[in-house]
Structure 1
Amino acid sequence: MHLILAFLSIIAVWIRRDYREWEKYYSTMQYIAIGNLTYNFICASHWLWQLSPDIKWFNHSLLELAYTFITFPLTALMFLAHFPEDQGWMRVFRHYLLWIGLYIGVEILLLLKGNIIYKYGWSIYWSSLFDCVMFPFLRLHYKKPLFTLLISIPMIAFWIWFFQVPISVPIEKR
């Protein structure tokens, strides 16, 4: 399922010709990739959710790399490339609903197939709330990148605090 999602993202970007606008949205594509890398780094020993491979050789690390560098940036590209600019709040609202619903729907499928595991109080409900925040942040990052980076810091701090993710600094032994 995970590889299928990566391939579907590539095919959709190709068919919709969104790849022609990658430079315009590149920094926001990096923002979502860096966000996923940050989660994987901070939560390496206390993950709230973990993707479970559906193909043995495609281990957790390869899975995360595929999502970080293919699936998430390409879906961010598609979300932004077709954002209904100046078409009224209802179209904008439906656009958000479409993408949030798509992410939630895919996650429900992953959950039903056993390809995502939750821990430490995380659930599909928290993922849904996260998606409701993530997509507006993607749009905000495209419009105001520095502001979005600054407000992302307290958001990260909230998630770390709320889910009691241990943060420790390794001390070198000499």
Structure 2
Amino acid sequence: MHIFLTIISFIAVWVRRDYRNWERMYPTMQYIALGNLTYNFLCAAHWLWRMSPDIDWYNFTLLEMGYTFVVFPATALMFLSRYPEGAGFWRIIRHYLCWIGIYVGFEYIMQAQGTIVYKYGWSLGWSAIFDCIMFPFLRMHYKKPLLTFLLSIPMALFWLWLFDIPTHIPIEKR
């Protein structure tokens, strides 16, 4: 499933010709990648969700690199490339709901297959709530990157607090 999502993300960007917008969207593509890297760093010892490789040779490191550097940036690119700029309220809401639905739908399938595992109270419901925040943040980052970074800090602290994620990293003495 994970390799499939990586390949399908690449193909979708190509078929939809969204790659033509990559230079304008590049900072937001980096923002979403940075978000995933930050999660992996802060939650390495206390992860809330973790992708499980579904193929032996496609280990956790390769899997996370696929999501960080292909799937998530492709998501930002496709989401922003087709954002209904200047459209009515309901068309914009439909755009958000479509992307949230895509993310929740694929995660539901991954949960059913056992290729995503939850711990410490995280669930598909929390992922859906996170997606409802993530997509507006992607749009906000595209329009106002500095403001988004400033708002991302308290948002990250909120999630750390809510799920009681330890922020200290024990250092082993040699």
After TM superposition, the score normalised by the length of structure 1 is 0.97
Runs of 4+ in 1 over 4 A off after TM superposition: 169-174
**Structure 1 residue 87 displacement after superposition:** 1.2
Distance 2:61 2:85 in 1: 37
Distance 1:172 1:62 in 2: 27
Counterpart in 2 of 1:76?
76
Secondary structure in 1 matching 2:157: helix
Matching residue's letter, 1:28: T
**Structure 1 residue 171 displacement after superposition:** 5.0
Counterpart in 2 of 1:148?
148
Deviations 1:125-156 (A, max 9, x none): 00000000000000000000000000000000
**Structure 1 residue 68 displacement after superposition:** 0.2
Deviations 1:148-172 (A, max 9, x none): 0000000000111110111115558
Correspondences of 1:26-65 after superposition (within 5 Å): 26-65=26-65
Q: How many residue pairs get matched? A: 174
Indicate whether 1:99 and 2:109 are aligned. no
Matching residue's letter, 1:8: I
Matching residue's letter, 2:39: Y
Distance 1:169 1:111 in 2: 29
Matching residue's letter, 2:74: L
Counterpart in 2 of 1:163?
163
Distance 2:10 2:58 in 1: 18
Secondary structure in 2 matching 1:90: helix
Identical amino acids, percent of aligned pairs: 63
Matching residue's letter, 1:69: F
Q: Residue 48 and residue 169 in structure 1: after superposition, are their counterparts in 2 closer, same or farther (change >3 A)?
A: closer
Distance 2:173 2:126 in 1: 39
Secondary structure in 2 matching 1:50: strand
Matching residue's letter, 1:92: I
Secondary structure in 2 matching 1:117: strand
After TM superposition, the score normalised by the length of structure 2 is 0.97
Deviations 1:34-80 (A, max 9, x none): 00000000000000000001101111111111000000000110000
Matching residue's letter, 2:23: E
Matching residue's letter, 2:110: L
Deviations 1:12-31 (A, max 9, x none): 10011110110000000000
